[in-house]
Structure 1
Amino acid sequence: MATDLESATRTELLRRAREQDVPGRSSMTKEQLLEHLGSSDGAGADGDGAPGEDATVRGDGRRPVHSRVDAFHLLAEARARGEMVLIPRMLTGNDRRVHVRETVREDHETRIATGDLEARAKFDKLAGSVFQFFRGTNLLFYRDLVGEDSRLPTVLALGDVHPGNFGVMPSSDNVPIFSVNDFDDAYYAPFTWDLKRGAVGFMLGAEEKGDLSRKKQRAVARRFVQGYVDGIASYAADGREQTEQLRLDNAPPLIADLISSTLETSRTEWLAGLLDETRRGFRTDEELVPVRSRREEFQGIVDRFIAENEVRVPERAGRMQVKDVAERRGAGTASLGLTRYYVLIAGVQDDGTDDLLLEFKRARRSALAGLVPPSGYEVDKQGDRIRHAQRVHLVDGDVFYGSVDIDGLSFMVRERAPFRDDISLGSLSTGDWKDYAEICGKVLAHTHAMSDESGNIDYDVEPAILDAIGGRELFIDDILRFAEEAADRVRQDHEYFVADHELGAFQNVDVVYR
C-alpha cells in the first residue's frame, strides 16, 4: 500500500483522501497527503498513535477532540436571558490558566493535529508579544463576552477590531480607499462587542507599538470610542453612509499621507517583486511556492468563482486567464497557518506589466459564532459570511471580493494590489495615535451604520445605537473601564500562555476519554 501511495499523483492522492473524508485535504502538499494517508492505513490509527483502550473512537478511528462549542452556546443563551451564570473572565489563578490553554488548543485543533509547521510558528509569534497574542486569540476574548449586552442593538460587527485591521485597499474602480480590511470574524452581534475589542486593541497596540504610558493608552482608547459615538451621531443626522468613501481627496492628513505612500509603487514594480525573471510565473522562496501543476484546476475554480459571485469582470482583467498559482505561506497573525493561494491573472498587455493578483484564503468559523446573544441575523456558510460582510461594510469595495468552495472547503477571495497597505503603528507619535484612533472609530461607525442599508438589520440602526448609548460620558467611561480590565487580563493570559508554551502545551490537542 505504501509503495502504491508513493507512486501516485497528487490528484490520485486527493481522490483517496476524499474517499476517506480526510479533513483539510485540499490544502495539503503531496508529501502531507502521503504522510496522512499512510498513517491512516492501519486500523484505528491516530495522528499521535493508536488510541488508548478507554478512548471513545470516532468513525475515522480517531478519538474525538474535546470541544466546548455547544456548552458555550447554551451559556450565551442563558446569559442573554439574564440568568446569573459564571463566565470565563471571572476565573482566576490556575482555573484561568487551564481555560486559556484549553481554548487555544480547541481553536487550533486541526492545525495541531496535522502537525502544521505554521501553527508552531504562530504559537512562537504569540509568545513573543502581548499585542500579537491578543490578535491571535480572538476566541479567548469573545468567550469572556459570552451572551453579553443582549439588550443592545445588533449590527454586522467586524468581529476583530484593532489598529492593524484598518487600511488601504482597492475600490470597485481600482482606486485606493481606507476602511476596515479584515472580515474573517464578521458576525451579527451587539454593537458594543466591536467597541470593546477595539478599545482593548488600541490600548495594547499603543503600549507595544507606541511605548505609551497607561494614561496615554486610555486617552488613545477614549478617542477611538469618542470617534465612534461622533460618527454614529453624524450618520443619524445626515444619512450619507451609503455614498461615503475615504479617498485621497477627502481623507484627513494622516490617512491621505498613507494613501499617497501606497501610490509610490507602480503595478509593474510591485509585480516584479512577486514574479520570476520571465514574468510568466511566481518566484520561488520561503513565502511563495509555485504549484503550476494546478493551473488548469484553478482556471476552473476562477471560472466558477466569477459565475457564483456574479462578478462584473472589469476590462483590465481580460478573459480572467490563469497564468500561475502559488501557495502563500507565513502570512497573517490570527490566520497564520490557514491555506492561502495566490493566483496570477493575465491582464490586457502581452508583457505582463498589468497582470492581476487574486488571493484565495481559507475561511473558518467566526470566533463570535455561538457566543453572541441569539438574534436571527446569522449568515451560515463561512466564505459567504465573509463576502456578505465586505459587501455590507464597504461602499463600492473590491469587485473581486467573494467566496468559493475548493474541494469542499470554503475560501474567501480578494484582489491584492500595489496600494493595499496599512499604517506603520511603530512610526506614530502620541498625537498620531490619538488621531488615528479617532479616525478608526468613525470608520467603524460607518460600517455599523451600513448594517441596515445593505445588511440584514430591519430597523434604523443609528438612532437605536444613540438611544442605547444614552449619556455619552457614562457610556464611554463604561467601555474604557471594561477595556482596562480586559487589557490587564490579556497581559496575565499571555503570561500563562508563555509558561505553557515553554512546557510544550500546544503540541497536542485535548481528546475525550470514556
Structure 2
Amino acid sequence: MPLEHMQTAGVLPRAERRQAGRALRKIVPRSLHGQWAPSPKRRDPVDLLVETGRHRIASLLPIRYDRMRASPFAFFRGAAAIMAADLADTPSSGLWVQACGDCHLANFGVFASPVGNPVFDLNDFDETLPAPFEWDVKRLAASFAIDALSRGLGNTAARQMAAQAMEAYRRHLQDLARQDPLRAWWSHVGVAELLGGIDDARLREREMRRLETAVEAGHQGYPRLVEKSRGLWRIKEKPPLVVPLSSQRDDTHEIVARTAFEAYRLSLPEERRVLLDRYELADVAFKVVGVGSVGTFCAIGLFVTRDDQTLLLQLKEAQASALAPYAGSSLYHNQGQRVVVGQRMMQSQPDPFLGWTQESGNDQHCYVRHFRDSRLSPIGQDLAEEALPYHATLCGIALARAHARSGDAARIAGYLGTGRAFDVAVARFALAYAAQNELDWRLFLEAIKAGQIEARAA
C-alpha cells in the first residue's frame, strides 16, 4: 500500500531521525498514552457491531455473536471496529506505520514459511491500513490485559503482561533502528530459537518434540482435510464449518468461487502463475472462519497435480478496514489488494500464493492465500496457555519487526526512548481499556438476552 502518511527513512541520517522522534515527546508526552476515558460522543458498542454486520452473510451472524459472548476476550476479538473508534480519540505521536488493524495476541502464531521452516509472526491482516503505530500496540497490550483477567490472574498480572509486551516491542525496535535496512527487513522470529528461550525445561522439551512432529507431518499434505474417492479428489465435509459446494442443489456459490479463483490468477506475478498452473482446481468448499471474520464469504479451493500432489488455497472476502473511518480510506479500491499488499509489507516471509480477485463490475472483493496447516498452531496456543509472559515478549518482538518494515524505526525508537515510560503508560491504558471492554461485553450480553440480536451455536 502506498505509505502516503509516513515520513521516509531516507530523508535524514539515523541520528537526526531519532532526535526528531525524541522531540515529539514535548508535543505528545508518552504519559498521555496511559489515559483512557470514553468520549461523551462514544457510540453504543452494540449498535456499532450491528452496523459492521450489515455487509456480512446474515445467516452466519448469530454464530459470530455466539462466539463473541463466550468471554470478554472472545468479545474483544470480534470488536475491532469498536476499539478502532475508541483509538481514534486517543493521543497520537503522528508516527505512522502499516498497521495490522486487529492486533491482538490470538492473531500471532506459528506457521510454516514458503520453504517449510516454522516462523512466529502476525497472521491476520483483514484490517490492515496505514495508521498511527500506537493503535496496534495499544490493542495488543489490551488483549494481554483482558486475557490475563479472564484467567483470573488479577490486575497486577494483567498490567505486567501488557507492560512486558510493550517492553519487548520497545527494545526490539531500538535494536532494529540500529541495523542496516536490509538486515532489519529480512529479520524474523524463528520458532526453534523462540522455543529454546522457554525457562520451563519440561515445557521447552515437549514443544520442541511437537514442533519436529508437526514440521514432518506438514510435508505429507492434508490427510485430515482432503480425500480421494472413486478416482476424484475432494475436500472432506465437516458441517456446518466446512461444506463442499459441488454437492449443493444451487451451484451459484460454486460458480462464484471457481470464477474468483480464476480471476485471482491474474493478480499473481508471472512466475507464480507458472507454479499455480501446475495444479488444477478439483474441488471447492465453503468455510466458516474465526471470530472476527464470521459472516464474510470464505471458500477453500483444492488444487491437484496429475501426480496427486495437493494444494489448498483459501479465498476470503475483504471488506473495508475497521480503521478506515478514522485513518482514511485505502488508496486501493480493491479491498483484497489492500489486504495482500499490507500482508506483504508486514510479514517477514509472506505467502507466495497471495493474490486478489480482479473481476470488473463485482463489488465483492476477495483475496487468496495458502491455507495454513493447523498442526503448527497449537504450539503458539500452548505458549499463550502455559508461558503467557514469554508469549507477550514474542508478540512484542514480532510487532516491532512488522512496524519497522514500513515505518521509520529510528523516529519511533527516539520517541519511545530507552526507559520504561511508554511501557508503563500503555500498560495503564490496557488495564483501563480492559474494564471498558468488560462493560461493553455485558451490554452485548444484555442485548442478546433482550432479543436485540440473535446468538446461536454452529
Name the TM-score, length of structure 1 as normaliser. Answer: 0.71
Of 113, 116, 129, the match for 1:187: 129
- Following the alignment from structure 1 to structure 2, what is the Cα–Cα distance between the partners of residues 260 and 378? 42
Cα deviation, residue 265, structure 1:
2.8
Q: Once the two structures are superposed, what CA deviation does each residue of 1:201-220 show, in whole Å capped at 9, x if it has no partner?
A: 01112333x44222112211
Of 494, 508, 511, the match for 2:441: 494
User: 1:53 is matched with which residue?
Assistant: none
User: 1:216 is matched with which residue?
Assistant: 157
Q: Which has the higher contact order (CA 8 A, sep 6+)?
A: 2
Q: Once the two structures are superposed, what CA deviation does each residue of 1:102-140 show, in whole Å capped at 9, x if it has no partner?
A: 1111111234xx6x2320011122122110100001111
| 3-state SS of paired residue (2:235) | coil
User: 2:269 is matched with which residue?
Assistant: 310
1:247 maps to 2:167: no
Cα deviation, residue 261, structure 1:
5.0
Equivalent AA in structure 1 for residue 234 of structure 2: G
Equivalent AA in structure 1 for residue 264 of structure 2: F
Residues 428 and 200 of structure 1: is their aligned pair in 2 closer, same or farther, counting only changes over 3 Å? same
Residues 483 and 249 of structure 1: is their aligned pair in 2 closer, same or farther, counting only changes over 3 Å? closer
Count of matched residue pairs: 402
Cα deviation, residue 423, structure 1:
4.3
1:435 maps to 2:390: yes
Q: Once the two structures are superposed, what CA deviation does each residue of 1:446-473 show, in whole Å capped at 9, x if it has no partner?
A: 0000005xxxxxxxx1111012224632
Of 191, 199, 204, the match for 2:146: 204
Indicate if the aligned counterparts of 1:176 and 1:420 stay in contact, CA closer than 8 A: no
Cα deviation, residue 175, structure 1:
3.5
Cα deviation, residue 385, structure 1:
1.0
User: 2:70 is matched with which residue?
Assistant: 128
| 3-state SS of paired residue (1:164) | helix
Of 325, 342, 348, the match for 1:389: 342
Cα deviation, residue 273, structure 1:
3.4
Equivalent AA in structure 1 for residue 243 of structure 2: V
Indicate if the aligned counterparts of 2:162 and 2:426 stay in contact, CA closer than 8 A: no
Indicate if the aligned counterparts of 2:110 and 2:191 stay in contact, CA closer than 8 A: no
| 3-state SS of paired residue (1:281) | strand
1:336 maps to 2:294: yes
After superposition, residues 12-411 of structure 1 pair within 5 angstroms as 89-90=37-38, 99-111=44-56, 116-208=58-150, 210-239=151-180, 240-253=183-196, 257=208, 259-260=211-212, 262-268=214-220, 270-275=222-227, 277-278=229-230, 280-286=233-239, 287-292=241-246, 300-310=259-269, 312-313=271-272, 317=276, 319-329=278-288, 331-347=289-305, 349=307, 352=308, 354-372=309-327, 378-405=331-358, 407-411=362-366
| 3-state SS of paired residue (1:334) | helix
Name the TM-score, length of structure 2 as normaliser. Answer: 0.79
- Following the alignment from structure 1 to structure 2, what is the Cα–Cα distance between the partners of residues 248 and 392? 21
Residues 300 and 141 of structure 1: is their aligned pair in 2 closer, same or farther, counting only changes over 3 Å? closer
| 3-state SS of paired residue (2:321) | coil
Q: Give the aligned CA root-mean-square deviation in angstroms.
A: 3.1
Cα deviation, residue 437, structure 1:
0.6
Residues 490 and 272 of structure 1: is their aligned pair in 2 closer, same or farther, counting only changes over 3 Å? closer
Equivalent AA in structure 2 for residue 109 of structure 1: R
Equivalent AA in structure 1 for residue 165 of structure 2: F
User: 2:32 is matched with which residue?
Assistant: none
Q: Once the two structures are superposed, what CA deviation does each residue of 1:36-57 show, in whole Å capped at 9, x if it has no partner?
A: xxxxxxxxxxxxxxxxxxxxxx
Indicate if the aligned counterparts of 1:153 and 1:191 stay in contact, CA closer than 8 A: yes
Cα deviation, residue 440, structure 1:
0.9
Cα deviation, residue 501, structure 1:
1.2
User: 1:445 is matched with which residue?
Assistant: 400
Q: Once the two structures are superposed, what CA deviation does each residue of 1:80-110 show, in whole Å capped at 9, x if it has no partner?
A: 9xxxxxx995258xx97x7112111111123
| 3-state SS of paired residue (2:342) | helix
Indicate if the aligned counterparts of 1:88 and 1:144 stay in contact, CA closer than 8 A: no
Q: Once the two structures are superposed, what CA deviation does each residue of 1:164-218 show, in whole Å capped at 9, x if it has no partner?
A: 111123423344322100001111111111110000001112333x442221122
- Following the alignment from structure 1 to structure 2, what is the Cα–Cα distance between the partners of residues 276 and 243? 39
| 3-state SS of paired residue (1:280) | strand
Residues 319 and 301 of structure 1: is their aligned pair in 2 closer, same or farther, counting only changes over 3 Å? farther
Indicate if the aligned counterparts of 1:146 and 1:371 stay in contact, CA closer than 8 A: yes
- Following the alignment from structure 2 to structure 1, what is the Cα–Cα distance between the partners of residues 423 and 279? 49
Equivalent AA in structure 1 for residue 295 of structure 2: G
User: 1:481 is matched with which residue?
Assistant: 428
Structure 1: where are the runs of 5+ without partners?
A: 1-79, 81-86, 453-460, 509-514
| 415-424 or 397-406: bigger deviation | 415-424
| 3-state SS of paired residue (2:158) | helix
User: 1:414 is matched with which residue?
Assistant: 369
Indicate if the aligned counterparts of 2:300 and 2:312 stay in contact, CA closer than 8 A: yes
Cα deviation, residue 152, structure 1:
2.7
Indicate if the aligned counterparts of 2:267 and 2:355 stay in contact, CA closer than 8 A: no
Cα deviation, residue 505, structure 1:
1.3
Cα deviation, residue 226, structure 1:
0.5
| 3-state SS of paired residue (1:313) | helix
| 3-state SS of paired residue (1:305) | helix
Indicate if the aligned counterparts of 2:280 and 2:304 stay in contact, CA closer than 8 A: yes
- Following the alignment from structure 1 to structure 2, what is the Cα–Cα distance between the partners of residues 435 and 285? 35
Cα deviation, residue 415, structure 1:
0.5
Q: Once the two structures are superposed, what CA deviation does each residue of 1:258-282 show, in whole Å capped at 9, x if it has no partner?
A: 7435325345463343336446112
Q: Once the two structures are superposed, what CA deviation does each residue of 1:360-394 show, in whole Å capped at 9, x if it has no partner?
A: 0111111111213x6x9854431111101111112
Indicate if the aligned counterparts of 2:257 and 2:299 stay in contact, CA closer than 8 A: no
Cα deviation, residue 284, structure 1:
2.6
